A = this chain, B = another copy of it.
Amino acid sequence: KKTNNKSQNPLFHTTISFIRENERKLVHSIKVGIALVLVSLLYLLDPLYEQVGENAMWAIMTVVVVFEFYAGATLGKGLNRGVGTVLGGGLGCLAASFAQRAGGIGNAIVIGIFVFIFGAAATYSRLVPMVKRRYEYGAIIFMLTFNLVVVSGLRAEKVIELARERLTTIVMGFSVCIFISLFIFPIWSSDELHDSLVSRFEHLASSIEGCVEEFFKICDEKENRRIPGFDKCKSVLNSRSKDESLVNFAKWEPWHGKFGFSHPWEKYLKIGELLRELAAMILSLKGCLVSPRQLQAPRESIKEACEATVSSLSWTLKEVGESIKRMRRCKAENSILPKLKSIRVELSLVMPPTRLEPLVDKREGL
């Protein structure tokens, strides 16, 4: 029995650490699995199947396509799907009944023209940046429903009946998604956005500190070494598209936790933009750090001033990050500006004025 225990232990540990690392992903996967089983009951249980019939398909389709990782994404996609279906179905019915007046071969021609015009218009709207960002999925569903309704209007007499039944099952699927996504271990994109913004302040503060530490380290082989913190700096630099999608999802999310209904999500984008500029500046210092031709002598004379500056800068960054984290007005607000100004004066005494100004100016802008 003992050998059995031993051979299982490493497997057990890797499993545990895998679960810890991917906790949220696993929770999401299980939630989707449960939602799928629930909508499959429409097929599996006879009394339910007698009610909805083949249309149960649309409930399954809705869950598969709409259930996304973040609660806001699920809600946004679901609402897009709902509005797209209603609009597409309604306009499809109108177009089908209009086409029926033409009768015979004219009917098919009129439907063909409708299909072309609405298809092309909806496709164009998908390419408009504003629509693409928030309503692309709605435009796709509009196109799909409109086409299906308008062409089957030719065949099925009871097109409105058909639309009503499909809509009912879509609403069922959507309700299951929303319930499970919002009420069972919800994964909020607003939390993710908020936390990632706060952690970026810390990353930048630590990479500024790392920079200066490296600069004053006495070391011969500077060419090949890696500077700690620069990877994080780069990830800050590349954060824009993730920020934008998180803000998009967060806007769909209802009131929860510390976030109210009109939380200023746009400001997250602005602060993110400033942090990216700052990250760009820190990254550009890399050249100074790896350059082998720098002299060691003059460095010592500015070491103290530099270290004082950097510790104030990183303190400021951490302080601002902390106040965003707690969503409170920055307590140190009144002490930050004078501190930065005195640093500037101090630096201009040790250095030619052009050298360190941009960094200080920038920080004041924050």
Q: Which of A's residues lie within 8 Å of B, judged by CB?
A: 25-26, 28-30, 32-34, 36-37, 40-41, 43-45, 49, 56-57, 60-61, 64-65, 67, 69, 108, 111-112, 115-117, 119-121, 123-124, 127, 140, 143-144, 147-148, 151-152, 154-155, 237-238, 240-241, 276-277, 279-281, 283-284, 286-288, 290-291, 293-295, 353-354, 357-359, 361-362
Contact = CB atoms under 8 A, between A and B. Distances in A.
B288 A354 contact: yes
A343 to B, nearest CB: 14
A357 B36 CA distance: 60
Contacts of A60: 144, 147-148, 151
A147 B152 CA distance: 25
Contacts of A30: 120
Contacts of A117: 33
- When all copies of this chain in the complex are counted, the total is 2
A28 B28 CA distance: 36
Contacts of A67: 123
A40 B291 contact: no
B280 A123 contact: no
B37 A115 contact: yes
A361 B291 contact: yes
A246 B112 CA distance: 33
A281 B287 contact: yes
A116 B287 contact: no
Given A43-B154, A287-B359, A127 B25 contact: yes
Contacts of A29: 120-121, 123-124, 127
A28 B123 contact: yes
A237 B359 CA distance: 19
A286 B365 CA distance: 13
A274 to B, nearest CB: 12
Contact of A116 (B37, B111, B290, B291): B37
Contacts of A293: 353, 357
A123 B33 contact: yes
B49 A140 contact: no
A358 B43 contact: no
Q: Which of A33, A117, A127, A144 has the most CB of B within 10 A?
A: A33
A111 B151 contact: no
Contacts of A358: 284, 286-288, 291
B276 A40 contact: no
A358 to B, nearest CB: 2
A179 to B, nearest CB: 17
Nearest to A294: B354
B115 A33 contact: yes
Given A44-B151, A148-B57, A148-B60, A362 B36 contact: no
A85 to B, nearest CB: 13
B152 A65 contact: no
A127 B69 CA distance: 8
A117 B37 CA distance: 10
